[in-house]
Homo-oligomer: A and B are copies of this chain.
Amino acid sequence: MTYLINNPAEFAADALRGFAAAHPQYVTAVHGGVVRSTETPPGQPALVIGGGSGHYPAFAGWVGPGIGHGAPCGNIFSSPSGSQVYSVARNAENGGGVILGFGNYAGDVLHFGAAAEKLRAEGVDVRIVMVSDDIASNTPDKHRDRRGIAGDLPVFKIAGAAIEAGADIDEAERVAWKANDATRSFGLAFDGCTLPGADEPLFHVEEGQMAIGLGIHGEPGVQDVPMGRADEVADLLFDGIMKEAPAERSGRVAVLLNGLGTVKYEELFVVYARVADRLREAGLTPVRPEVGEFVTSLDMAGLSLTVVFLDEELERHWLAPADTPAFRRGEVPGERAPRTDVYEPGEEAVPPASDASRELAGRLVEVLDLFERTCTDNEQELGRLDAVAGDGDHGQGMCAGSRGGTAAAHRALERGAGARTVLVHAGTAWSESAGGTSGALWGAALTAAGGAFDDESGSDDARTVAALVAGVDAVRRLGGAQVGDKTMVDAAVPFVETLRAEYDRTGDLAAATSAAARAAREAADKTADLTARLGRSRVLGAKSVGTPDPGALSFSLLMEALGGHLGSR
């Protein structure tokens, strides 16, 4: 249960504001997140670490000398948008390039990747390190395809220490990947977490059961088994990790026992007592073990064990000083002046537009208003469907995205924008407001649809069809999913096929759109049914492809609304 909220939609932003207010000696709030409030040496690589909110201390809690240089902060359980990542990286970068570090999730890969493209286009040397420590999420031979969980801390701590010790970007990237390859985590959960403003947890673990390998956003685990005693839980986690212990090892390990939210410290220590015995029996020496809350999932009841198999280099960096809001060890040497320059993204330009295009833009804004209402009306249902196989944030993301996109479109319209500009502004804002995979895809869709219009011409049915087709094409191109992958593409492809065929046949846009929306809904219902049947029985990888996705349903809902709107004109 989340108790302390002002407005659920502003929860993550409010938390970020409070976080920055509490730690002025460490961080400064910038657009999209925080960066260190003190200057870094010119030429030092910047380690920019981030992901969705709801995991504190991850990630903003680790910004400071010895670990991170900045943290873009997405909405709860949603990737920060590309422009958030870009803004934070721009602020953190100081001539030594940028390492973007994040847990390996589809949305983060998409948004951090987009930011990397933009930074590279501007001449910044960008490296990407995806943490993938969760052994429950893929097989050992695919370690780098696994999800990132509590291993985020040691990997970023070690990379940050290497940078503090003088590593350049090549060296820092090498050490970060080496740390990731040496890190294994295994976790389980006893009960779900509740998104701010929601009445019900995202998911439940059946009473008396525990879900092994459950992800930090409630992604399905390996299996549910009867609840064990603390010692049995310790053995299960330890044995799981030791199956992957490297054959050649120093015998020294960093150990993290991480509480996900409502498992309390005393319980973690009861488990650690057994872990310590098992380490000793296995001939392993724990080096500065840490027991507490490091990568949380709001109020999820669960824990994870992380082991980093150390060599001399990794141990040196693991033991090095760090001074951040939530992770402190000793004193990081050196004086630090307060930083002075802050990059802020400016307002997007509004090119001149004809009266006809402005009139069309007004009608497009009406459609966006309708999209926003449709998202709001269906928020709970989309969240529920997503929680079956994903992280339950789809309803929230669609609401935040449509709200942000619609608001930006209204602002552009007031500034005299035409049809193209209104949609492009809406697309950028949707992506930024929603975060997450679907936010990026809807943002790209709107932007691409805008590209089919211009700021001169007036209303034109053929152009509207072309815009819808262009939007769906962008989703297919960017997301890389195929029909049958159980993503929004499952509904989007039948939609455009029907739309084109019917419009060519009849020339009636409203009827063609309604028919296309019906085809989309039919496909979406199949996908939803499959999701419900597959349920939590499969291990799912970190990639969106193959993850049952309520995006098909939300796509068809918005297209149904559009069809109805066109028909009522």
Q: A22-B289, A25-B288, A330-B330 are in contact. Are A270 and B15 (CB under 8 A)?
A: yes
CB pair A270 B4 closer than 8 Å: yes
* A interface residue count range (under 10 / 10 to 19 / 20 to 34 / 35 or more): 35 or more
Q: A6-B270, A266-B53 are in contact. Are A276 and B329 (CB under 8 A)?
A: no
CA gap between A100 and B301 in the complex, in Å: 35
Of B56, B231, B272, B292, which contacts A266 at CB under 8 A?
B56
Binary contact track A46-89/B, C-beta < 8 Å → 1, others 0: 00000001101100010000000000000010000000000000
Of B3, B56, B271, B323, which contacts A263 at CB under 8 A?
B3
Give the residues in chain B near A274, CB-CB below 8 Å.
18
Give the residues in chain B near A262, CB-CB below 8 Å.
1, 261-262, 299
Interface residue SS majority, chain A? mixed
CA gap between A56 and B265 in the complex, in Å: 6
Of B4, B191, B271, B331, which contacts A233 at CB under 8 A?
B4
A165 proximal to B (CB < 8 A):
no
CA gap between A230 and B151 in the complex, in Å: 32
Give the residues in chain B near A331, CB-CB below 8 Å.
321, 330-331
CA gap between A61 and B292 in the complex, in Å: 11
- Name the CB-closest residue of B to A276: B21
A2 proximal to B (CB < 8 A):
yes
CB pair A273 B18 closer than 8 Å: yes
CB of A195, distance to nearest CB on chain B (Å): 11
A16 proximal to B (CB < 8 A):
yes
CB pair B18 A272 closer than 8 Å: yes
CB pair B269 A18 closer than 8 Å: yes
In chain A, residues 306-336, which have Cβ atoms closer than 8 Å to a Cβ of chain B?
321, 323, 326, 328-331
A19 proximal to B (CB < 8 A):
yes
- Name the CB-closest residue of B to A279: B21
CA gap between A227 and B2 in the complex, in Å: 12
A14 proximal to B (CB < 8 A):
yes
Give the residues in chain B near A53, CB-CB below 8 Å.
266
CB pair A227 B190 closer than 8 Å: no
In chain A, residues 8-53, which have Cβ atoms closer than 8 Å to a Cβ of chain B?
11-12, 14-19, 21-23, 25, 53
CA gap between A293 and B292 in the complex, in Å: 10
CB of A310, distance to nearest CB on chain B (Å): 16
Give the residues in chain B near A210, CB-CB below 8 Å.
3
Binary contact track A205-243/B, C-beta < 8 Å → 1, others 0: 000001000000000000000010111010000000000
CA gap between A321 and B330 in the complex, in Å: 9
A249 proximal to B (CB < 8 A):
no
A291 proximal to B (CB < 8 A):
yes
CB of A303, distance to nearest CB on chain B (Å): 7
CB pair A276 B22 closer than 8 Å: yes
Copy count, this protein chain: 2
CB pair B266 A229 closer than 8 Å: no
CB of A265, distance to nearest CB on chain B (Å): 4
A268 proximal to B (CB < 8 A):
yes
Q: A264-B296, A330-B323 are in contact. Are A273 and B1 (CB under 8 A)?
A: no
A182 proximal to B (CB < 8 A):
no
CB pair A5 B264 closer than 8 Å: no
CA gap between A264 and B76 in the complex, in Å: 13
A298 proximal to B (CB < 8 A):
yes
Q: A264-B296, A289-B22, A329-B328 are in contact. Are A1 and B57 (CB under 8 A)?
A: no
CB pair B303 A4 closer than 8 Å: yes
A267 proximal to B (CB < 8 A):
yes
Q: A11-B270, A229-B6, A270-B5 are in contact. Are A299 and B264 (CB under 8 A)?
A: yes
Q: A11-B270, A21-B272, A22-B276 are in contact. Are A5 and B190 (CB under 8 A)?
A: no
CA gap between A53 and B76 in the complex, in Å: 33
CB pair A264 B2 closer than 8 Å: yes
Give the residues in chain B near A272, CB-CB below 8 Å.
18-19, 21-22
CB pair A269 B14 closer than 8 Å: yes
CB of A134, distance to nearest CB on chain B (Å): 20
Give the residues in chain B near A230, CB-CB below 8 Å.
4-6, 14
CB pair A54 B11 closer than 8 Å: no
CA gap between A53 and B267 in the complex, in Å: 11
Binary contact track A160-200/B, C-beta < 8 Å → 1, others 0: 00000000000000000000000000000011000010000
CA gap between A301 and B194 in the complex, in Å: 14
- Name the CB-closest residue of B to A277: B21
CB of A297, distance to nearest CB on chain B (Å): 9
Q: A18-B291, A25-B288, A273-B17 are in contact. Are A267 and B57 (CB under 8 A)?
A: no
- Name the CB-closest residue of B to A232: B6
A sample of 6 more A-B contacts (CB under 8 A), given A1-B301, A4-B263, A6-B270, is A15-B265, A18-B271, A19-B269, A22-B286, A292-B326, A331-B331
**Which residues of chain A have a CB within 8 Å of any CB of chain B?**
1-6, 11-12, 14-19, 21-23, 25, 53-54, 56-57, 61, 76, 190-191, 196, 210, 227, 229-231, 233, 257, 261-276, 286, 288-293, 296, 298-299, 301, 303, 321, 323, 326, 328-331
**A-B contacts, 22 listed (Cβ < 8 Å):** A1-B301, A2-B264, A4-B230, A4-B233, A4-B263, A4-B268, A4-B270, A5-B229, A6-B231, A14-B269, A15-B273, A18-B291, A19-B272, A21-B276, A22-B257, A22-B286, A25-B288, A53-B266, A196-B267, A262-B299, A292-B326, A328-B330
